[in-house]
Amino acid sequence: MVGQLAADSIERRSGVSLWRQIADKILHAIAIGDFAENAALPPEVALAERYGVNRHTVRSAIAALVQEGVLRAEQGRGTFVLSRKRLSYPIGARTRFSAGLQGQALERHTVLLASSVEPASHRVAEGLGLARGTDVIRLETRGEADGRPVSRAAGWFEARRFAGIDAAMVETGSITASLARFGIDDYLRQSTMLSARHADAADLADLDLQPGAIVLVTVAVNVTPDGQPIQFSESRFPAERVELKLSAL
């Protein structure tokens, strides 16, 4: 189905490039409901013919919309409208993955992607209050809600104190539960730095994103209630699927 993608109002030498006009037409068509979420757009050649432009001009328009997070293009399959609903991920004094998404997703869990022991880099050492080069365990995890990846995190823990936390993570599927095995019943978020950037290749793969997607990046230190640093973490959230709700920290 093609809907109301009329070619009439495409104007040459109007000061607005053709590809931008076509991108705006597609946006409008989506806005008025001509294309539902996850619906396929007509193929590039069909759109090109419809608008009376070259296929490359349509490609420029689609590329812009992919980049803006509106469409997803899949080689050999087609171009699809992305879903726009976002989860609201709370960040505060007690930031917990599963508890935070309660009520927003039926099923939440964390999977361990990789783990390793490595010498602490400068920023990890500083965050954990260790000497640079001290052995730390790195856990790479992915958070999923209702089957969709919503976060990708690297967490660093002092290796001597938390030996075996990787195994605990595999068993329990939860950082909080794993820490409990080491006698950590409670922990607090000490500091959080927040930035945003385009997803890199690893983000694209692990979070199932399209090139050009944006990730929100938090760098945080978790401490015990008496202020002892236990975890340094860097988390990436796909901006198209998650927004962050900052609460009392």
Partner DNA sequence: ACAGATTTGTACGTATGTATA
Partner DNA sequence: GTATACATACGTACAAATCTG
Question: In the complex, which residues of this chain contact its own copies (CB under 8 A)?
Answer: 67-69, 86, 88, 91-92, 191-198, 212, 214, 216, 239, 243-249
Q: Which one of its own copies, DNA, none interacts with residue 62, CB within 5 to 8 A by kind? A: DNA
Give the closest residue to 155 by CA, choosing from 237, 230, 234: 234
Q: Least distance in Å: CB of 224 to DNA?
A: 46
Range 4-33, binding DNA (CB under 7 A): 12-13, 15, 17-20
Q: Which stretch binds DNA (CB under 7 A): 43-51, 130-138, 165-173, 188-196?
A: 43-51
Q: Which one of DNA, its own copies, none interacts with residue 161, CB within 5 to 8 A by kind? A: none
Q: Which one of DNA, its own copies, none interacts with residue 249, CB within 5 to 8 A by kind? A: its own copies
Q: Least distance in Å: CB of 12 to DNA?
A: 7
Q: Least distance in Å: CB of 23 to DNA?
A: 10
Check binding of 79 to DNA (CB under 7 A).
yes
CB closer to DNA out of 20 and 123: 20
Residue span 162-181 as binding mask against DNA, x where in contact by CB under 7 A, dash where not: --------------------
Check binding of 62 to DNA (CB under 7 A).
yes
CB closer to its own copies out of 17 and 172: 17
Name every residue whose Cβ is closer than 8 Å to that of residue 38 and which is 6 or more positions away in sequence: 80, 81, 82, 83
What are the DSSP calls for the chain, one per residue? --TT--STT--TTSSS-HHHHHHHHHHHHHHTTSS-TTPBPPPHHHHHHHHTS-HHHHHHHHHHHHHTTSEEEETTTEEEEPP---EEEEESSS--HHHHTTTT-S-EEEEEEEEEEEE--HHHHHHHT--TT-EEEEEEEEEEETTEEEEEEEEEEETTTTTTHHHHHHHHS-HHHHHHTTT----EEEEEEEEEEE--HHHHHHHT--TT-EEEEEEEEEE-TTS-EEEEEEEEEETTTEEEEE---
Q: Least distance in Å: CB of 204 to DNA?
A: 13
CB closer to DNA out of 19 and 162: 19
Name every residue whose Cβ is closer than 8 Å to that of residue 80 and which is 6 or more positions away in sequence: 38, 39, 40, 41, 71, 72, 73, 74
Q: Which stretch binds DNA (CB under 7 A): 41-49, 146-154, 157-165, 231-239?
A: 41-49
Chain contacts with DNA (rule: CB under 7 A) = 12-13, 15, 17-20, 41, 43-45, 52-57, 59-60, 62, 73-79
